[in-house]
Amino acid sequence: MTHWGFFVIVPIMNKDFRKIDLKLIKASEIIIKLKTKYLSEPSIYADIHKIDERLEEISKIVKNDNSK
């Protein structure tokens, strides 16, 4: 018995990982712009930095899962 479903799902998953990765790259670009804009406002900058850290964590997970 073969598992043909697996061979169909893997390319779809890789395509989805790529889409997520592209969205994360775009989000990072926006975060950089926001950090620059709110550099003089420490409380807002700190919140943006927290979001940036979470996006980096997600990006690492996506890249690690995609490389398997």
Q: Tokens for 5, please give them.
A: 């479903």
Q: What is the pTM of this model?
A: 0.70
DSSP, res 45: H
d(CA 66, CA 28): 19
| Mean predicted confidence (pLDDT) in 1-8 | 52
- Binning pLDDT at 50, 70 and 90, where does residue 21 land? confident
Q: Render pLDDT for 30-44 as a digit per residue (tens, 0 to 9).
A: 999 999 999 999 999
Domain ranges of the chain: 15-66
d(CA 44, CA 23): 23
